[in-house]
Amino acid sequence: MQGLADVRVIDFSSDYCGAYCTKLLADGGADVIKVERPEGDPLRRWSATGADLGGADSAIFRYLHTSKRSIVGSPTDRAVLDLVADADVVVEDFGASNGIDRSALRSRWPHLVVLSISPFGLTGPLADRPATEFTIQAESGSILYRGRPDQPPIQGGGRISDWTAGCYAAAATLGAVWRARHTGVGDDIDFSIAEVNAIAASTFSDLSHHMQGRPPLTTVCRNLETPSIEPARDGWIGFNTNAAHMFQGLLLMIERADLFGDADLASFGGRTRRRAEWEEILHAWTTQHDCAEIMRLADL
């Protein structure tokens, strides 16, 4: 299997979403060439703690750009345009008012797929609006679904909007490349991070409401998983029991096999309705064990 070995991508992006999109393509075997400004990509020097990296590339930059090549240049350089001529995909995040002439690229090379990533899309009333991870979460509606129903909503950490959008951007790009290979006609993909997250980052709240039988809503409908991030003796630890066998395995681990016959607790809706009872059962065990011990037992 050659994967994407015959696909070439020119990456002008300089933030998480574009970088993660092209990383996924590179992981699939694509030849990704990153075009950096003379001072280097901003993520090369980024640190969560503000630490001086001593000239070394940051961990996040190394993660996002592994398996890629890098050159210094701009979208108007002849050498860069020569690379674009032989490419299948151009990825950029310059925004609505800046950057490259997208229509000129597509007119010159009709086979080309141009993926333009922006917070709110290249057109419309929010096209030039400044954005951060927090505003994207708010505008997409995803922040509404986080937290307990009786408490204010909470934002999701870790630039999750960008990571989520990067996955969808890679999928959209592959679909456009497939079409271009079969028709000779590329595409302009106006990719809005907020619009993607309006679908992908709502934590499937409507689906969870359906699974609970669509009871009348008297408060904000939030999908609060249980078990989720739970207290241990020396900290906090996360669980995922989306499948029935995963929940059964958890019951075995916490030494409550007697609950196998409780069909209500075995369902997401049932645990939600009996949250206080269920969390008392779970925490009676988790708070008596260290995180490392729980990890070891879960791995058995």
**Confidence band of 300 (pLDDT split at 50, 70, 90):** confident
Q: How many residues does the chain have?
A: 300
205 falls within a domain:
no
Same-domain check for residues 138 and 192:
yes
List the beta strands (DSSP E) in 97-164: 113-118
Torsion of CA 173, 179, 181, 185, to 10 degrees: -100
Same-domain check for residues 31 and 73:
yes
Query: At 128, which amino acid appears?
Result: D
Strand partners, 31: 8
Same-domain check for residues 118 and 257:
no
Same-domain check for residues 273 and 179:
no
**pLDDT tens digits for 232-277?**
999 999 998 988 899 999 999 999 999 999 999 998 888 988 989 9
Q: For residue 101, which of 12, 9, 191, 194 has the smallest C-alpha distance?
A: 12
User: Could you tell me which residue, 208 or 178, shows the higher pLDDT?
Assistant: 178
Same-domain check for residues 19 and 92:
yes
Displacement of CA 227 from its chain's centroid (Å): 22
Q: Is the pLDDT of residue 221 over 80?
A: no
**pLDDT tens digits for 22-66?**
999 999 999 999 999 999 999 999 998 889 999 899 999 999 999
- 266-282 burial, b at 16+ Cβ within 10 Å, e below that, comes to bebebbbbbeeebbeeb
Same-domain check for residues 262 and 186:
no
**Confidence band of 203 (pLDDT split at 50, 70, 90):** low
Structure tokens at 256: 């409550």
Same-domain check for residues 151 and 244:
no
Contact 241, 247 (CB under 8 A): yes
Catalytic one among 162, 234, 262, 290? 162
Same-domain check for residues 259 and 155:
no
Whole-number Cα distances in Å, 149 to 177, 250, 284: 43, 26, 24
Full residue range of the structural domain in which residue 80 is found: 8-200
Say whether 162 is catalytic.
Answer: yes
